[in-house]
Amino acid sequence: GAVVSQHPSRVICKSGTSVKIECRSLDFQATTMFWYRQFPKQSLMLMATSNEGSKATYEQGVEKDKFLINHASLTLSTLTVTSAHPEDSSFYICSASRGHTEAFFGQGTRLTVV
């Protein structure tokens, strides 16, 4: 399968600071990437759709000013959690689509806000 790399895999930050998470498709170009959030023992919830060269589309209830998404190239999307608080602690996962029927996920980023 295709490779999607996410960095960092784990990050601990202080409350009030911002954290950037990178998602790269290593062996294919992805015009669209997706960001998900997963709480412990729960399933994945779609946060936003990242579109190369245009603004991201956010799901209902997701604050676009808090979760900044930039899709600067066909292989890179970034998610910045601004002014992080403990309730933002979660597992964040990106995915990239190859064609219409295949999606590949990064390994995830465990964010802990202290």
Contact residues for other proteins, defined by CB under 8 A: 1, 4, 6, 32-34, 36, 42-46, 49, 91, 93, 95-97, 99-108, 110
Closest separation in Å from C-beta 110 to other proteins: 7
Residues in the chain, total: 114
Report, in angstroms and rounded to the nearest whole number, the Rg of the chain calculated over CA atoms.
13
Closest separation in Å from C-beta 16 to other proteins: 26
Measured from the CB atom, the residue of 34 and 84 that comes closer to other proteins is 34
How many Cβ atoms sit within 10 Å of the Cβ of residue 46? 13
Measured from the CB atom, the residue of 86 and 99 that comes closer to other proteins is 99
Task: State the Cα torsion 52-47-106-96 to the nearest 10°.
Answer: -40
Measured from the CB atom, the residue of 14 and 100 that comes closer to other proteins is 100
Contacts of 90 (CB under 8 A, 6+ apart): 37, 38, 39, 111
Measured from the CB atom, the residue of 16 and 72 that comes closer to other proteins is 72
Closest separation in Å from C-beta 96 to other proteins: 7
The answer to whether the CB of 84 falls within 8 A of the CB of 113 is yes
